[in-house]
Structure 1
């Protein structure tokens, strides 16, 4: 059972459909549970197979930005069903990989689906990303693939990551990032927008800008090593996700995804890959 105070309606829908062996859910979200990346969005064909390949491309882009190397110890915080870990397991050897998630249901699926390859070591741990259950200076790389907006505090997460990283350690994330105008608008309309989004995505704090990330990095002992706005290259995600949730009989989830799509198309909510290094 997941902690009683954690609401995950998005995962509730996915896990129920996976239990029913619904094929489109299996193809789209059986491995990765995040948006896709298309180098050429015009070539997206709208199929779940194309989306699954794009989701794989996104996680690879994040861990490439973090500069993952063989023989490193790596933590994937908020690891979902373990898709990023599965990708690392296939692309590298001699990695010591730990997947962390607060939801034991997701960890159960990850453990079932992923077996170590090529001298890699894989461990899954139930825990809070803002209270990492790992020793100081025990990791070379930390990843957070499209999950940091669920955490109670980005600052607490960054401080914990700084603690567990060795000197010169790296952090790679992808996140929905607000423009300053949209951040102010969200704060003004919080009583309306928060219940709308949380009804599908659970706790989702998107009131964070690139400037906020730069200030947070400075405050917590990191430097920004790269930032990439990939918003346009993620937009083909939305029709596929809407189709999948429509098939799952979740009209509210469809409406919420459409709302986020429109905000993204307007350029108010951006999708960034960012990487950091300890000072």
Structure 2
């Protein structure tokens, strides 16, 4: 079921960098307790959701590709679903880009946190590269995993085929990086595996201001943050994903810096503080406007 019909975007500044976060779309999922807290009793997950004023059966999942305009580069972090998602009400990034005053040709760099379909679906448009002037930054571990023929005839085969169709044709214009690799000026990558084998987060710094684009490190603003050790169905290595959540959000909470989570409630930016045995999400308000 489609939960949104119009493209939306939100802009703010981090130092001298201008961020534009787009809502590529949103979908309504059934049985939240089967996705978040998959290793917990149904009643335990439902109680946590109810305590946080959320429905106990359904949930909304949204998608937030983001543009970082540094003045010298226009960087897109993840792409949304692209044309393949439009029949379901997603794939709205392209319309949002126009509404925000940019065109696909303005994008000079596309950086991918990982290679799931909702992050790479917008790389191609009508069979050709969607961002004709862009180069690409991709994690080496992630690329090697998804392009390996060993994925054939496994549950990962669909993802394998999507990478072959959307990412492999762009490889000659790509830089493949690892932990600590440079994405662009002021932006570095950190390996944050578990959700996928080569999942990365991006540290952004401008004029002393910091933000971490956390990708899919946390997939739900309540469950994945308040209960970071609970299993998430979408995580490939659930134990490693939980350890990564602890590592990344301990750092963000300790350093009191902002983060941008791909599946956080739009506009997908906020802060965390330690809370009980996990973290509490604090959405941004006017911190970036003053």
Q: Same fold per TM (> 0.5)?
A: no
TM-score, normalization by structure 1: 0.35
Larger helix percent? 1
Q: Whose relative contact order is higher, 1 or 2, with alpha carbons under 8 Å and at least 6 apart?
A: 1
Larger strand percent? 2
